[in-house]
Amino acid sequence: MRAFLYVAGQTVGWFACILGAAGSLRWLGVPVVAALFVLHLIARGERSVRRILTLTMVSMLFGFAFDSLLIVCGVYEPVRWVIPSPFATIWLVALWVNFALIVDVPLGWLQEHLVVAAGFGGIFGPLAYWAGRRLGAIEMAEPIAFSVAVLAVAWALGLAAFMFLARQSQVLSWRKKATTTSQ
């Protein structure tokens, strides 16, 4: 049930960012994701606030660099809000914060299965961009099939790399906790 609530929250955040960007409410995703983040902190269970903040920061930085690289390479162009081209815009960064909220709970097992993470990324990453395109939040470069193929490869590599970073940030958090406890 808990995993379902996380996925439901992820979905709400995704639609707020995408539909807000596609419409005249480009700011909408930011407060919705911020509220989901606060709920995530409240319902964090055994996970430390430090872990959640670290993972969120890793996700924001990784996502900003990842999407900015895709934009610079001409794979797609998002609807602009606040941050100018060729960088990822604010609502895209909010999507990465939103994604960070499901990395430890429903998707935590992918941190140990990087090949499976690559497969998931190669399939579901391009589908998310395709849906964002259909809803009007992004424009993909022509030919669309080539852009989707580039996204599939990028997301296969990107999600595996991100899950590796998430696992490493957890290991580092654990080591810091163990070092602090032993002193």
Nearest of 33, 30, 99, 111 to residue 61 by alpha carbon? 99
In this predicted model, what pLDDT tens digit does every residue of 38-83 receive, in sequence order?
Answer: 999 998 777 788 888 999 999 999 999 999 999 999 999 999 988 8
- 8 Å CB contact between 154 and 162: no
Question: pTM higher than 0.75, yes or no?
Answer: yes
